[in-house]
Amino acid sequence: MSRGSSHCTLSIVHYPFPTSRPFRANFALEVYPSERNTADMTTSEHPYDVIIVGGGPCGLAAGIEAAKSGLTHLILEKGSITESIRRYPKLMRFFSTAENIEIGGIPFPISGVKANRNEALQYYRKVAAYFQLNTKMFTEVQKVQKQGDLFIVTTTNGDTFQAYKVILATGYFDKPRWLGIPGEDQAHVSHYYDEPFQYSFTKVVIVGAANSAVEAALELYRHNVDVTVVHRGEDFKPTVKYWLIPDVKNRVKEGKIKTAFDSCVTRIGPDYVRMHNLKTGETQTIPADFVLMLTGYTPDAELLTRCGIDLDPDTQIPVYDKQTFETNVPGLYVCGTVMAGIYTEKVFIENGREHAIAIIDHIVGREEIHKVNELIQRI
Ligand SMILES: Cc1cc2nc3c(=O)[nH]c(=O)nc-3n(C[C@H](O)[C@H](O)[C@H](O)COP(=O)(O)OP(=O)(O)OC[C@H]3O[C@@H](n4cnc5c(N)ncnc54)[C@H](O)[C@@H]3O)c2cc1C
């Protein structure tokens, strides 16, 4: 089987419950083979009821809700299952407690309170297997087009799939915010932080002052790395997890982590970073073996536009109904962090997992549509 066609071929799941509600486990599981969900193919012969683009926590939640409602579904994922989490820093721990990132009503048991990356990867994989989700991995969707009552979903290698409804759950982690400065594309510059050991006994400049930057700075400092944090603001961002603040500030006070606030990076050389102080106007050059540009990520606006979805020009937030998550293209929905535009810190698994419930309520025509917690509604 080729890497691109690894098709986990599974059957539809019928539940004795006509509706699903948030985080209530429906354990009385019966499985029936289904003709529509069993083809190992690159082009669907029959339309699926729902195609979900993206196999992150929110896309999986959408697949589960579809399956619980007896809808045929296919999840197309460009990488592996929960690809974003797989690429998160290896030593990371979620800030949410485990029960707040559960999906499908399946408990997430861990020995502590908050899960780490490995525990989350195991959990989501097991939940996807438990619900026998119909997935096709390493399949990147290029566009979604409406033709009559159907959607044609086209992948980057030209395969097409048909569905009556499509849910985009593509997140934001693939699109780092580039600063557009000279030298940003060099091999020793990365927009992702993975693990500390590769950097021990080197000089690392971290650009950014939000959670990812602070967590990386602390972890690197504790692995014999000479760390400097550069940020255009005057301090670490106020959104940094409250329990990290005393730790990082005390390390700065001790001189163990260096900072250059009020500073914009203007150039990255092979072994240096040049920056401009916004207050004094001075230019400073500091040595750097590696540069980590931890300046955030944004949803793929081009993909959304290719699918016909209108975006707010200032916020990049797609046009969608706040209750049903249906976009300006009828039958095409946004689910999870893909809808966040530039406000990626406002949608996460905790609230994004609930979009799936509201979307499937709308698709199957339930009178009462699940109300998603108000964090997302503030956008
Ligand atoms: C270090 C870190 C810690 C975090 N901790 C927490 C936490 O404690 N609690 C919390 O609630 N949130 C947390 N978050 C945020 C959370 O991980 C995201 O909100 C979550 O992953 C969003 O889920 P999603 O399904 O919307 O998107 P993602 O998990 O990003 O999934 C999107 C999927 O779509 C796939 N995809 C993208 N484009 C395509 C395409 N064109 N075709 C096919 N597939 C595609 C991607 O490969 C990916 O697998 C954290 C984030 C980071 C970076």
- DSSP secondary structure letters along 199-217: GTTSEEEEE--SHHHHHHH
Nearest CA residue ID for atom 14, ligand 1? 348
Is the model's pLDDT at 267 over the cut of 50?
yes
User: What's the whole-model pTM score?
Assistant: 0.90
Percent of the residues in the chain that have a pLDDT greater than 70, as a whole number? 87
- Of 314, 27, 43, the closest CA to residue 153 belongs to 43
The predicted-structure confidence for 130-178, as pLDDT tens digits, reads as follows: 999 999 999 999 999 999 999 999 999 999 999 999 999 999 999 999 9
The residue whose CA is least distant from atom 16 of ligand 1 is: 348
pLDDT of residue 46: 84
Domains of the chain: 38-175+298-364 (3.50.50.60), 189-293 (3.50.50.60)
Q: What is the pLDDT of residue 262?
A: 98
pLDDT at 36 over 50: no
Cα separation, 335 vs 286, in Å, equals 42
Residue whose tokens read 């683009």: 53
> What's residue 10's pLDDT?
38
CA distance 60 to 360: 13
Nearest ligand 1 atom to the CA of 336 is 26
d(CA 296, CA 77): 22
Report, as an integer, the average pLDDT of 252-266.
Answer: 98
Query: Across the chain, what does the average pLDDT equal?
Result: 89
- Give 166: exposed, middle or buried? Use CB within 10 Å, 0-12, 13-18, 19+: buried
For 348, half-sphere exposure in the C-beta direction (CA atoms, 13 angstrom radius) is 11
Give the nearest ligand 1 atom to 81 CA.
49
Using CB distances shorter than 6 Å, the residues near ligand 1 are 53-59, 76-79, 83-84, 88, 92, 94-96, 101, 140-141, 169-171, 173-174, 212, 303, 336-337, 348-350, 352
Q: 39 or 252: whose pLDDT is higher?
A: 252
Closest approach atom of ligand 1 to CA 96: 8
Give pLDDT, residue 18.
Answer: 33
**Res. 43 pLDDT band, cuts 50 70 90:** low
pLDDT at 22 over 80: no
Q: Tell which atom from ligand 1 comes closest to the C-alpha of 95.
A: 8
The answer, yes or no, to whether residue 340 has pLDDT greater than 80, is yes
Q: What pLDDT score does 56 carry?
A: 98
Measure the CA–CA gap between 6 and 274, rounded to whole angstroms: 46
pLDDT of residue 21 exceeding 80, the answer is no
What spacing in Å lies between the alpha carbon of 74 and ligand 1's midpoint? Answer: 18
For the chain, what's the residue count? 379
> Is residue 293 scored above 90 in pLDDT?
yes
| Cα angle 97, 107, 58; round to 5 | 70
Report how far residue 277's alpha carbon sits from residue 315's, in angstroms, rounded to the nearest whole number: 28
Which of 90, 170, 175, 243 for a ligand 1 pocket mutation test, highest count of atoms within 8 Å of Cβ?
170
pLDDT at 38 over 90: no
Distance from residue 149's CA to the centre of ligand 1 (Å): 30
Structure tokens at 128: 């996807």
CA of 173 to the centre of ligand 1 (A): 6
